[in-house]
Amino acid sequence: MKCRRQLLMTLLMVTLPAGAITTPQIIASALSTDCLQYRVVGVCYWLLCTPFGCAVKTSVKVKHNLPELVVSAYNFPGDNPWREMAFAGNPVPGAEGGGNTTSRITNSQTNIRFKNADAFGHPADGAFYRFLSSFGYSCSGSSVPLQPYFVSTPDSLAWRSGIPEILYPEALTPGLRELGEPGDLWGNIYPRSGALGQTNDYKAAAVMAQRAADIVTRTGQPHVYLPLTASSRPGYWPPVPVLEGKQGNHTWQRLAPKISTTCAVFPDHPATIDWTDRYSENGSYAWALWRPYACCQRRGQTFLGSTGG
């Protein structure tokens, strides 16, 4: 396993065109203890009954993150930095354009940026699950590798016009459903469309990724997409829908234009960050979305309850 992991990690060093990333590199990037955040959080109690009587059994309750989606934000259809998935976002009638109102990456004036966004099931394979199993008992995820959960080009009406969400209270109420911090507002989540007034290209792309994840992790949204949701059951607690800025709800791992081995919640930068490390030359970005699962091994017919988060 150690040799296999080392081989996969070397793939992170492969030279690609600016802003591009491949499936093997994404798989290798998932071998991150920082993003996994595996921990034992409590105990589960089960009632086990046999012909000889009943007894209370216990099992360890664990919690950890799983890489569920690869979410990309990019200027023009077909420019998804995940090379193997770029074909899915090729132009369709009514969804050919993109980009921004100025060629500058940052400026002091208002700049309307438009980006396409895609969300595919993370391609984590056997290497990742062997890595996960090395920590002990683990939870199963709910995403399907390579499954297209959201592609903005087929969703062109909502993604390009903002209809009907432009009239939602979340879009009309200042301070409601916004990404960023006081004095450093990255953008509003609603309407969940591809346009945003933002002078910083990385921040604009991050908002698009957050919007796409917000759509996908909920059911019944006015978009063309496939929901990524799961129901809880005895001894199994899947994540709740993505909510911006909330610690413990989800984390993002940068994949393109430069891979990071750590995860964070947007805004994902210190005050003194060197932004040149995060800018894409062609406006294409990608992140892995990690979400928390909690579970414990079944030890009886009836679940009695659990301790811990």
Residue 89 has pLDDT above 90, yes or no: no
H or E element that contains 179: strand 178-181
What is the number of other CB atoms lying within 10 angstroms of the CB of residue 261? 15
Cβ neighbours of residue 283 closer than 8 Å, sequence gap 6 or more: 74, 75, 79, 99, 100, 115, 201, 205
B/e letters for 2-24, b = 16+ CB within 10 Å, e = fewer, are eeebeebeebeeeeeeebbbbbb
Region 274-301: what's the mean pLDDT?
Answer: 92
Region 172-197: what's the mean pLDDT?
Answer: 94
Lowest mean pLDDT among 91-105, 125-139, 210-224: 91-105
Which of the 8 DSSP states describes residue 121?
E
Which of the 8 DSSP states describes residue 105?
S
User: What was the pLDDT predicted at 15?
Assistant: 42
Measure the CA–CA gap between 256 and 279, rounded to whole angstroms.
Answer: 9
User: What was the pLDDT predicted at 6?
Assistant: 46
Burial of 105 (0-12, 13-18, 19+ CB in 10 A): middle
- DSSP β-bridge partners for residue 293: 64
Residue 7 has pLDDT above 60, yes or no: no
**Residue 277: pLDDT band by 50, 70, 90 thresholds?**
confident
Measure the CA–CA gap between 24 and 125, rounded to whole angstroms.
Answer: 10
- DSSP β-bridge partners for residue 281: none
User: Are the C-beta atoms of residues 64 and 35 closer than 8 Å to each other?
Assistant: no
Region 261-279: what's the mean pLDDT?
Answer: 81
Cβ neighbours of residue 225 closer than 8 Å, sequence gap 6 or more: 119, 149, 150, 155, 215, 216
**Residue 203: pLDDT band by 50, 70, 90 thresholds?**
very high
Residue 74 has pLDDT above 50, yes or no: yes
Residue 5 has pLDDT above 60, yes or no: no
Say which residue the tokens 């970005």 belong to. Answer: 285
User: What was the pLDDT predicted at 275?
Assistant: 73
Strand, helix or coil at 160? helix
Q: What percent of the chain has pLDDT over 70?
A: 85
Tens of pLDDT along 121-163?
999 988 999 999 999 999 999 999 999 999 999 999 999 999 9
Tens of pLDDT along 28-68?
999 999 999 999 999 999 999 999 999 999 999 999 999 99
Residue 177 has pLDDT above 60, yes or no: yes
How high is the mean pLDDT of the chain? 88
User: Are the C-beta atoms of residues 195 and 224 closer than 8 Å to each other?
Assistant: no
Strand, helix or coil at 230? coil
Measure the CA–CA gap between 209 and 188, rounded to whole angstroms.
Answer: 12
Higher pLDDT, 70 or 3: 70
Q: What's the pTM value of the predicted model, to 2 decimals?
A: 0.88
Domains of the chain by residue range: 2-306
